[in-house]
Amino acid sequence: MTDETIFAAALEKADPASRTHYLEEVCAGNPELHQRIENLLRAHDKAGGFLENSPVPAASPANLLTQDLTGPESGSDDLKETMTFLRPSERSGSLGRIGHYEVLEVLGRGGFGIVFRALDETLQRVVAVKVMAPHLAVASPARKRFLREARSSARVRHEHIVQVYAVEEDPIPYLVMEFIPGETLQQRLDRTGPLELEEVLLFGKQIAEGLEAAHAQGLIHRDIKPGNILIESGAQLSIKITDFGLARTADDASLTQSGIIAGTPMYMAPEQAHGDKLDHRADLFSLGSVLYTMCSGRTPFRARSALAVLKRVAEDTPRDIREIIPEVPQWLCDLIARLHAKNPEERIGTAQEVADLLGQGLAALQTGQTESTPVITPVTDKPREAESRIPERREVIAQPDPTHQHKPRKRRWDIALAVFVFLFFVLGPGGFILREIAHRIFSPAR
């Protein structure tokens, strides 16, 4: 039996005594397996209601590469148990040591790991150290994702991308990266609501420039969202893109082979939600959603569950921003609409073009020369042949067969949630199955 199967079966046993007896029986002689399932069950309890509520986790501290992190004050006893990999330190106030890094404080923690503020004793600089959760370090998919994040991030050097300094695997996989004091764009939006137009244009331009650098290296980020945009504290406004844990090379076809769709529902592109092969234009769609959110203070595609959000991403047009914030200039609304084209061929071609248009609009705003604002060609959004199958697939998701019996439907949802949570804590907050759920769970029972 796989971990997923055992985890799903354990979830069905609501009585704690029955669950304990089941795990003791099925995991007999395998304490590592027993511990892994217990960790998943605890994670499931903490994530309760995830599908029924917002499909995007709360924003993390700004100094982190992952968004599924909470403050160090939560679960302090559990935190101590997971920090056994730290060696003792003689330094006063230190939490311990890992490699030649003196760990100073916990910045945040989540299902995928812990992030520390630390001192690099060799170079005498403050860094952020992201340590993989011990119970995931033995899982091959999670370990590979962790290492892929390091390698993907390290390939790109740009002022608007968080720099990875090193990746280590002993005594446990961890990344050493640039420490960014400040907050995430998501935290800023939560704190202030819609941003001023000048900030929208400046941040949007910088995000696009960072994406252009990644795309030039053949990388697609696949998870551009406010929680992965860090705003540096200081007199000069500047952002950095973080969390390349989902990044893939443009010629990686495994996206369509695995059946796993990774990303954050409210910000992913339609072709990403379909599980189709992606190119750099998927990131541009996500950038359009980030621009929309900065302008309006709300996400463009909203619904009560992750799957309902994906349906909206695939089929719907967002509400006109000017209905929410009338002051947003029409040219910017047109630009966002182009980025939100369902057909990638109808979007702006490159991140650099987007950066240039936003820069032109920013210059016009700062100089008062409104006649110099960009002119954006309206989107025609002619569907590709591949998109002709979307309605049929989405109808299956949105409209389960009314002849289904209530109990089997609930059973399929329970399994869906079990698999979802398992992948959530192995792949991180952006990873979950859609294709298998769509065809096996929501399709009519045979």
String of DSSP letters for 77-119: HHHHHHTTTSBP--STT--EEETTEEEEEEEEEETTEEEEEEE
pLDDT per residue, tens digit, the chain (446 aa), is 666 567 767 766 666 777 887 788 788 888 888 888 887 777 655 443 333 332 233 333 333 333 344 444 444 555 666 678 898 888 888 899 999 999 999 988 766 688 899 999 999 999 999 898 887 777 777 788 778 767 777 888 999 999 989 988 888 889 899 999 999 999 999 999 999 999 999 999 999 999 999 999 888 898 899 999 999 988 688 999 987 755 555 554 334 334 445 568 899 999 988 888 889 999 999 999 999 999 999 999 988 888 888 889 999 999 999 999 999 999 999 999 999 999 999 999 999 999 999 999 999 999 998 888 898 988 775 544 444 333 333 332 333 333 344 444 444 444 545 555 555 444 444 444 444 444 433 333 33
Other beta carbons within 10 angstroms of residue 317's beta carbon come to 13
Name every residue whose Cβ is closer than 8 Å to that of residue 402 and which is 6 or more positions away in sequence: none
Contact 153, 162 (CB under 8 A): yes
- Tokens at 199, concatenated: 């900030």
- Tokens at 209, concatenated: 């420039």
Active site residues: 223
- Cα radius of gyration (the chain): 22
Instruction: Output the pLDDT for position 28.
Output: 82
Instruction: Output the pLDDT for position 242.
Output: 86
| Rounded Cα–Cα distance for residues 128 and 117 (Å) | 5
**Is the pTM higher than 0.75?**
no
Q: Coil, helix or strand for 132?
A: strand
Annotated binding residue at 130? yes
Contact 226, 60 (CB under 8 A): no
Contact 348, 284 (CB under 8 A): yes
| Rounded Cα–Cα distance for residues 138 and 36 (Å) | 10
Instruction: Output the pLDDT for position 26.
Output: 80
Q: Coil, helix or strand for 297?
A: coil
First to last CA, the chain: 24
Instruction: Output the pLDDT for position 113.
Output: 80
| Rounded Cα–Cα distance for residues 104 and 123 (Å) | 16
Contact 423, 432 (CB under 8 A): yes
